[in-house]
Structure 1
Amino acid sequence: MISKVSAATARHRHVVLLLGLLVAGVNVAAVGFASSLGQVLFTPLLLLTLAVLVLSVIAMAIRPASLMALPQVPAFATPAPAWKVFFALGFLGPASASVGALVRSAREGMVSTLDLGFTISWLALVALLVVEAWRGHEVQLRPDGIRHRWVLGSLTVPWEALPTAHVAPRADRPSRLRMTFAEPLLVRRRGLSWSWNALRTDSVDARFLAAAIRHYVGHPEHRAAIGSQAEYRRLLAALAAV
């Protein structure tokens, strides 16, 4: 059940996030301009916040051994992490309450520098979480290499760099896949570092992703077909036969 909810949330994450932003906007208006309505909304929003945060923790453990074929890119991408959507939704409630309280204080002429700084910090954090959840697919295997994106940067590894993926020994569900490169000078890094030598695997089975990378490093003749459903079926068959 949780897996189906997570998959649907990830698939329709844009709609879910927009609805969350809409509810947050209503809460800002209620807290800032209609205190009685804000008090009515407080308990339901608190329960909803707790529920989605619990769902985010549960969804972190869902890491299927699969990729998504994106022929329009083209790429094989890790599934969009539903836990990030739940996590972003969980922070929208407190952030909207903080903004609403600031609006109410401004109307009453009692805004302090501390309140303003706190609210701006909330908004910056929530903006990063929403953008990260909105973007979806973090790791992509493309015909020309591996692309890992996060909200503040990216890591691009051409196949010519001969990447080797290492799963931490005795790790049950590793959230990162460490890599080494035979040709490190070919690797391109931009923005702020999440990790310059690792891929996030909090939405995919790390061993499956490592096997897929290893397959394309060793079989360059199949790279051009990456992104197609036919190639994905062939990849699954090849990995199953190993």
Structure 2
Amino acid sequence: MSPSLPVRQPTAAPRRDRVHLALVVALLAGGLGVLAARLTVWDVAPGVSGKLFITAILVLFGLTVAAVVLDVKWNRAPARLVVRDGAFVAPPRSRGLAFRLLRAPTSLVFPGTVTLPALDPGPARTGVGALYVLAVLVSTALAFRPGPRVILTPAGVEFAGMFRSRRAPWEDIADVLPTPKVRVRGAWWSLGEDRLDVAPGYTADAIVHYLRYPDRRPLIGTEAEHDRLHRELSTLWAARAAAYAAARPAPRP
């Protein structure tokens, strides 16, 4: 059985995710507001609509650039598993919601602000506008679906995605890799660890731990076991860090 790779354990920084999510939500709301104004109020005020429209587009473009830069720059410093409903859960990253909003509904705003106002008022604009609103609503609803998560229970492990979940009893798990990735009855199940709100390698280490110590499985989901597991894995990570530091070649003088 393969333990997860040694990595540095970071500290949690959830405020960054909340700021990024608020920025993306403001961008989405502002874009829809600009589009609505462009199709209504600004159509009857041609003398000022052009300048207001261009100004609004530039502001939205700046917010988009800022949201993309933050999504790339703010690498989440995740935390440990959480106790929830008698289980240990590796929850989805809240920045994942911001990214889904940025990628789907927000990205629809800019084509709409260009194509819809170009159509003459009438059935054509109404039909295209209705389809556009439907696309925004559907993509927004999909963005707010629960994100991917890994759930450890006394009975086994669950890999829950946005559209389907797969559960395996502990006895069926044959191997573990750090992504996290588990082999169940010859098939590999995986979730990108960048989609989970835990430290890289932490979830895989927790699965390996309970495969090695089955007598601890009935305690999964309790606060006492949660604290004990964190101490155990922290000691493991410290030992790995010391071993890798000792194995590094000495710098040349």
> What TM-score do you get using the length of structure 2 for normalisation?
0.65
1:90 is the counterpart of 2:102: yes
State the distance in 1 between where 2:215 and 2:174 align.
Answer: 17
Contact 1:30 1:100 in 2 (8 A): no
Determine the structure 1 residue equivalent to 2:6: none
Query: Which residue identity is paired with 2:110?
Result: A
CA distance in 1, matches of 2:174, 2:27: 39
Determine which of 225, 232, 250 is the counterpart of 1:238.
Answer: 232
Paired residue for 2:40? 33
Counterpart Cα distance in 2 of 1:4 and 1:107: 54
Shift of 1:126: 5.2
Q: Go from structure 1 to structure 2 and tell me whether the alpha carbon gap of 1:21 and 1:12 turns closer, same or farther (over 3 Å shift).
A: same
> Alpha-carbon deviation of 1:85?
2.9
Task: Report which of the two structures shows the higher radius of gyration computed on alpha carbons.
Answer: 2
Q: Report the alpha carbon displacement of residue 45 of structure 1 after superposing the two structures with TM.
A: 1.2
1:226 aligns to 2:229 (yes or no): no
Tell me how large the CA RMSD over aligned residues is.
3.9
Other-structure match for 2:181: 178
1:207-226 equivalence runs, <5 A:
207-226=201-220
Taking structure 1 as reference, are residues 119 and 16 closer, same or farther at Cα in structure 2, changes over 3 Å only?
A: same
Q: Check conservation: 1:28, 1:99, Cα contact below 8 A.
A: yes
Higher RCO, 1 vs 2 (CA within 8 Å, ≥6 residues apart)? 2
- In structure 2, distance between residues paired with 1:138 and 1:100: 36
Gaps of 5+ in 1: 168-175, 188-195
Asked if residue 200 in structure 1 is aligned to residue 211 in structure 2, the reply is no
Structure 2 unmatched runs, 5+: 1-9, 43-48, 237-253
Structure 2 distance, partners of 1:78, 1:228, is 15
Range that drifts further, 80-89 or 119-128 = 119-128
Counterpart position of 1:171 = none
CA distance in 2, matches of 1:17, 1:50: 11
Q: Which amino acid aligns with 2:92?
A: A
The amino acid across from 2:83 in the alignment is A
Q: For the residues of structure 2 that align with 1:5 and 1:40, how far apart are their CA atoms?
A: 38
Give the equivalent residue in structure 2 for 1:77.
Answer: 89
2:57 is the counterpart of 1:50: no
Q: Which amino acid aligns with 1:69?
A: V
Query: Which stretches of structure 1, 4 residues or longer, exceed 4 Å deviation after superposition?
Result: 3-6, 9-21, 100-103, 108-127
Residue by residue over 1:144-203, the C-alpha shift from the partner in whole angstroms, topping out at 9 and shown as x without a partner, is: 222222222222222231342113xxxxxxxx323213xx28x9xxxxxxxx52122113
Q: Is the 8 A contact 1:98 1:119 kept in 2?
A: no
CA drift at 1:76: 1.9
1:159 maps onto 2:170 in alignment: yes
- Paired residues, what number? 215
Structure 1 position 114, deviation (Å):
9.3
Identical pairs, percent: 24
Asked if the contact 1:57/1:83 (under 8 Å) is kept, the reply is no
Give per-residue Cα distances to partners, 1:93-135, cap 9 Å, x unaligned. Answer: 332233455553363555599999888767655553x235xx2
Change (3 A) 1:142 1:54: farther
Question: Counterpart amino acid of 2:14?
Answer: A
